[in-house]
Structure 1
Amino acid sequence: MNSSASDIPFLNRLPREWRRALGAISLLWIATGLGAGLAFATQALMARELGPSEYGLFASSLATITIAAPLAGFGLPQYWLQAYGVEGWLANRWLGPSLRFISASTVMTLLLVVLWSFIGAPSDARPMLLLMLPVVLGLLAVNLISSQLRLEERHALLAWWQLITPGGRALVAALLWLMPGLDGRVAAVGFSATSLLMAMLAWPRLREMMRGGIQLHGHGPPPEQQVVADAPIPSVARLLSQSWAYGLETSLYPIFFSISTVLLKYLVGNVQAGIFGIALGVMMAIYLIPSTLYQKFLLSKLHRWAVHDRDKFWKVYRHGSVAMLASGVLVGAVLAVAAPWLVPIVFGEKYQPVVHVLMILAVCVPVRFLTTGLTSALLNEVHMRYRVLAMGLSAVVVIAANAMLIPRYHATGAAIAVVLGEISLMMAMYVGVRRFHPHGAAG
């Protein structure tokens, strides 16, 4: 029997805009759930096959690459959303300098990772870091095309695009399972191959966008060619002056989120890094729930509504924040209840210490969900500067707490440090909303 969402009486009574939004969100959440499942399966297979020590080396090396990767592009994918939300079609003028800046920053990032692998990283991490250099290109490709697809509101294609990386990594994990005895270096090569595939798939779409081929949604038909041609072309320096806050925020976030794994490897050893890396991977999958709604679906709309439809902007903010807090409490409770029996089944008895770490990190779930809702009200350049400051201070909290707690409490100390960092970030975002929007946030 054939049916569609429009055949459901309840949905038929909803406005057409609501039906479209529910369909898009459902599609993105289904894809996100599938991606999270693939990432979870990848992590479980690799942890079982590599063992705590080898997996810890792999996880800490991948975390190091993840921390460095946002320097490539330095926030431009996020700035595009703001620029097009405000300027509409005229924002095409930023694409030329964007390409030049992306190229230069990517080369600089790759050189920085190579330099760190020789003069800063432990000797056992050097081969892994060098093998995973292409991961920088893959993450950049994912972010650039994701921003393009969000601007075009092509949610189905965005969903498929975001599944390629976890799908490729799952194949690598399956290879380790089918061929016992392979080490972390083989996994590093597999992850790099997936990243190179992403870069190759992204290039034709990126090239077409740079030629003005973007199908921008929500700003009406494109203007006359002469209107676009007459728009002043900014320099790379001008671009950087507009986008640096986005770059700093995207660079600070992986430090805030992943530095604990790296510090555990450096201060205690690979085994504790592996224990914490598994727990952090579980949290990463959970955090996809709010990020799917806000980053993949709402963000480009919020930039547009913040300028052109303030009533809708604040309505989404208020209802979204309440929904995020409620769902975060529920998901955090489920995690705390499920962890003691799920971890041994999925990862094996040798990873039993992960349970204690997850019980602590469960506190972060409602905090992060609410933080995501609060942050949605801070979008423009002034707000971004404040967000950078808040993220920087929270990263300092995490690093300082890790330095004090890891030597004595190991992975448990790292988990406590992350909780402290998440709470400090949430409080900073709340203060920011009250400061910049004293009337709108309470209206």
Structure 2
Amino acid sequence: MSAVFSVSLLTIAAIVNAVLAFGTQLLLVRLFAPQDYGIFAAAFATVVLLVPLAGFGIAPFWLKIFSENPTIGRRYLKSSYALMALMSITVFVLLFGWSYLQPQDSEMRPMLQILSICILGQLTIELLNTKFQLEKKILQLALISLTQNGLRLGLIGLFVLVLENDISLYHVAISYAASALMIILLGLFTFRNFVGSHRWIGFPNTANPPVRISQVAKGSLPFGVALFFQLVYYQSDVVMLKLLSTPAQTGYYSIAFTLVAATYILPTVIFQKFFLPKIYIWANLDPARLRRFSVKAGIGIGVAGLLVAAIYWVASDMSVAFLFGERYAASASVLRVLSLSIPAIFVSYNFGAILMTRDSMKTKTYFMGIVALFNILANLFMIPEFGAQGAAVTTLMSAVLLLMLYFVGARKAVEKIVNISVQSGT
């Protein structure tokens, strides 16, 4: 399958997936007022924040080790499954504990408990993405994410047809939970055969014993921490708005962020789904090509980001009014601010992929930790004063800071890889 066809297929699938996700959000905002929608958005964002802890970075860690050496990668599977099971139990305990810290009259407690199964659903999606990337099954890779959002939209639509005006937030949460459960069952069936591992942990080659859980944790930890930090500056704004402002402000911000996040499908497809395995290979075998790619890809995706940001800035008022109605009009000004972060985020995907190679992952994690901390501290000041608008400004500043750090780090990483290659004569 040619590179152009593969990228095109993944891009089309990502666009359809974004349409399904956006359609779900559009249906919800049509059904619920900003305050009610904000409660659900905050609950779901809290659940999503815990996914990296449950997965512990194992999915991207698998992609790295299997791309470099499949034989060694197989030795990590058994302990990887054990580590994910252990961390998932820990996450459920934390989430249910947090749910009982909610005020007695809060709708967040049952919402968090119902949505908890989505942690395992999202983890399964990530693992299946890695499996299909490694096996070069582009069609399955293109379809897997569509399945989850398609199920969500279909189940919510079914509730609307049956219950009409009696639908509640709990029905929405049940729809999300049911779709996650279906994805988990699909994953259990699919993972019975993974890169030579049958029935989960039965290996055809037993000459090399499995590694210990501690070794898996050591290797995957930087990836898990990086994913968590990434979600902190992407999703924590929603959670902090719920805690420091009002559910309505949470709803306004969530709508604007949903529109902006839909644009991330382009850099995600290019750098995370298609080119990342190639970037790992170039880092080890063709550093000069990696350097050329990083420059050209950075310029190309940066131009694309500027064009998208310009469209969003011009059309913010009209698009919010047309799609969500007048009761969400306050989201338009938030959208304008968030649109300014799009070019920085787009280019960051390029440099971030470079920082996942060789021994640079710890550097990337360190940078993301700085940005996550900055995001939280800035929100502590901005949200109480300016609400959703303040959260949007914080997101913009965080995106610019991340780009600056990634640029410096990726440039040093590529030069180091090239120098090592020249010295070794490869």
Q: Does 1:153 align with 2:136?
A: yes
CA RMSD of aligned residues (A): 2.1
In 2, are the aligned partners of 1:135 and 1:195 still within 8 Å (CA)?
A: yes
**1:141 maps to amino acid:** T
Determine the structure 1 residue equivalent to 2:15. 33
Q: Distance in 2 between matches of 1:244 and 1:143?
A: 16
**2:84 maps to amino acid:** I
Q: Distance in 2 between matches of 1:331 and 1:210?
A: 39
What is the deviation of 1:176? 5.3
Report the secondary structure of 2:355's partner residue. coil
What is the deviation of 1:174? 2.3
In 2, are the aligned partners of 1:46 and 1:176 still within 8 Å (CA)?
A: no
Q: Distance in 1 between matches of 2:198 and 2:298?
A: 36
What is the deviation of 1:316? 2.2
What is the deviation of 1:380? 3.3
Report the secondary structure of 1:376's partner residue. helix
Q: Distance in 2 between matches of 1:249 and 1:121?
A: 31
**2:24 maps to amino acid:** T
Count residues with an aligned counterpart.
414
| Large movers: runs of 4+ above 6 Å | 439-443
| 1:262-341 alignment, distance < 5 Å | 262-341=239-318
Q: Distance in 2 between matches of 1:323 and 1:441?
A: 23
- TM-aligned CA distance change 1:121 to 1:109, over 3 Å: farther
What is the deviation of 1:55? 0.5
- TM-aligned CA distance change 1:95 to 1:439, over 3 Å: closer
Residue in structure 1 matching 2:46, options 64, 85, 93: 64
Q: Distance in 1 between matches of 2:415 and 2:69?
A: 26
Q: Give deviations 1:6-47, integer Å, cap 9, x for gaps.
A: xxxxxxxxxxxxx70000000011010001111111111101
**2:34 maps to amino acid:** P
Q: Distance in 2 between matches of 1:234 and 1:57?
A: 43
- TM-aligned CA distance change 1:254 to 1:43, over 3 Å: same
Q: Distance in 1 between matches of 2:156 and 2:256?
A: 18
In 2, are the aligned partners of 1:72 and 1:105 still within 8 Å (CA)?
A: yes
In 1, are the aligned partners of 2:301 and 2:346 still within 8 Å (CA)?
A: yes
Q: Does 1:82 align with 2:59?
A: no
In 2, are the aligned partners of 1:398 and 1:421 still within 8 Å (CA)?
A: yes
**TM-score under structure 2 normalisation?**
0.93
In 2, are the aligned partners of 1:45 and 1:177 still within 8 Å (CA)?
A: no
Determine the structure 1 residue equivalent to 2:192. 207
| 1:145-294 alignment, distance < 5 Å | 145-175=128-158, 177-178=160-161, 179-209=164-194, 212=197, 228-294=205-271
Q: Distance in 2 between matches of 1:441 and 1:407?
A: 48
**2:348 maps to amino acid:** T
**TM-score under structure 1 normalisation?**
0.89
Determine the structure 2 residue equivalent to 1:6. none
What is the deviation of 1:440? 6.7
Q: Distance in 2 between matches of 1:290 and 1:45?
A: 26
In 2, are the aligned partners of 1:356 and 1:412 still within 8 Å (CA)?
A: yes
Gaps of 5+ in 1: 1-18, 215-223
- TM-aligned CA distance change 1:336 to 1:175, over 3 Å: farther
